[in-house]
């Protein structure tokens, strides 16, 4: 059975003291849980990114950035280059989140540029895809999601796919008060993503790309979601903004694998 993934994006939250306290709780947890079947990752804001990378060095945790530019350097005020991102010590970079698309002009094509840049610098691109409520209402969910996948990975070789992670996050399911996707629905979208990946590359490549679900994941629905056949893990928001919540999710993921 494949490893499960549990990750959390902190968005525009967490000051340094809060980040340090979070990692302190995780450090205590791993003192008695050193062997774990779940791959964990944190995606903090840039202001605490280097600190979190340092604090997580001795823990079985990956750390990611929430965004980056595709250019190596230049006159791009306010942007962070791939080299700067790598210099912080991160393992992965989140790209194409729906908030970046809707609020800051991210497009499928800029996501593709960033995927190429991430791979060039040895970073794992965590590519976020998902349909809007309107696209779902008009029955165009698959077309929207698969378009995003195809464009994001355009020009990426089969060999490079081993470093790619995809998070399916339906836009209508993200945010406080939103409704999560039903596990069966999420699984069907993941299955369609897997099929198109096998068409773009082959089945082996499609199987080694982790497909995560994100969107109003909580302690009540996480077990059913992560137990679905095509869902390799969860990308979680508020539920994991306390370290204790993340630890509960780790335990749920381990149980799903029969490790607990």
Q: Is 97 a catalytic residue?
A: yes
Distance (Å, rounded) from C-alpha 186 to C-alpha 188? 5
pTM greater than 0.85 (yes/no): yes
Contact 26/55 with Cβ under 8 angstroms? Answer: no
**Tokens linked to 170:** 């339906």
Convert the pLDDT of each residue in 78-97 to its tens digit: 999 999 999 999 999 999 99
Structural domains in the chain? Answer: 13-256 (3.20.20.70)
Would you place residue 176 in the very low, low, confident or very high pLDDT band (cuts 50, 70, 90)? confident
Rounded alpha-carbon distances, angstroms, from residue 97 to 129, 160, 184, 207, 219? 7, 21, 23, 23, 22
Question: 94, 99, 106, 169: which one is catalytic?
Answer: 169
Distance (Å, rounded) from C-alpha 251 to C-alpha 246? 9
Q: Is residue 5 pLDDT above 80, yes or no? A: yes
Alpha helices in 42-182 (DSSP H): 49-55, 82-87, 98-104, 108-120, 133-137, 141-152
Q: Is residue 259 pLDDT above 60, yes or no? A: no
Q: Is 190 a catalytic residue?
A: no
Convert the pLDDT of each residue in 135-175 to its tens digit: 999 999 999 999 999 999 999 999 999 999 999 999 999 98
Q: Is residue 34 pLDDT above 90, yes or no? A: no
Higher per-residue pLDDT: 258 or 144: 144
Q: Pairing state of beta strands 211-213 and 233-236?
A: parallel
Distance (Å, rounded) from C-alpha 136 to C-alpha 159? 33
Distance (Å, rounded) from C-alpha 225 to C-alpha 239? 14
Distance (Å, rounded) from C-alpha 141 to C-alpha 147? 10
Question: 97, 106, 116, 131: which one is catalytic?
Answer: 97
Contact 225/256 with Cβ under 8 angstroms? Answer: no
**Tokens linked to 11:** 């968005």
């Amino acid at each position: 059975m494949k490893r499960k993934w549990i990750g959390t994006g902190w968005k525009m939250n967490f000051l340094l003291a809060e980040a340090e306290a979070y990692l302190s709780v995780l450090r205590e947890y791993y003192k008695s849980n050193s062997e774990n079947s779940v791959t964990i990752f944190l995606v903090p804001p840039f202001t605490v990114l280097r600190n979190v990378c340092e604090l997580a060095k001795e823990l079985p945790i990956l750390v990611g950035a929430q965004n980056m530019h595709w250019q190596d350097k230049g006159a791009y005020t306010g942007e962070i280059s791939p080299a700067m991102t790598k210099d912080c010590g991160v393992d992965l970079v989140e790209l194409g989140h729906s908030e970046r698309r809707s609020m800051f002009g991210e497009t499928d094509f800029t996501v593709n540029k960033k995927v190429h840049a991430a791979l060039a610098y040895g970073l794992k691109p965590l590519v976020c895809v998902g349909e809007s409520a309107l696209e779902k209402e008009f029955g165009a969910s698959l077309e929207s999601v698969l378009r995003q996948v195809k464009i994001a990975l355009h020009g990426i070789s089969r060999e490079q796919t081993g470093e790619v992670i995809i998070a399916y996050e339906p836009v209508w399911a993200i945010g406080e008060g939103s409704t999560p996707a039903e596990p069966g629905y999420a699984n069907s979208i993941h299955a369609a993503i897997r099929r198109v990946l096998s068409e773009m590359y082959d089945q082996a490549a499609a199987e080694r790309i982790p497909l995560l679900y994100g969107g109003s994941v909580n302690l009540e629905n996480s077990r059913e979601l992560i137990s679905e056949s095509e869902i390799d893990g969860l990308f979680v928001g508020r539920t994991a903004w306390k370290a204790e919540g993340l630890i509960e999710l780790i335990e749920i993921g381990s149980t799903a694998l029969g490790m607990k």
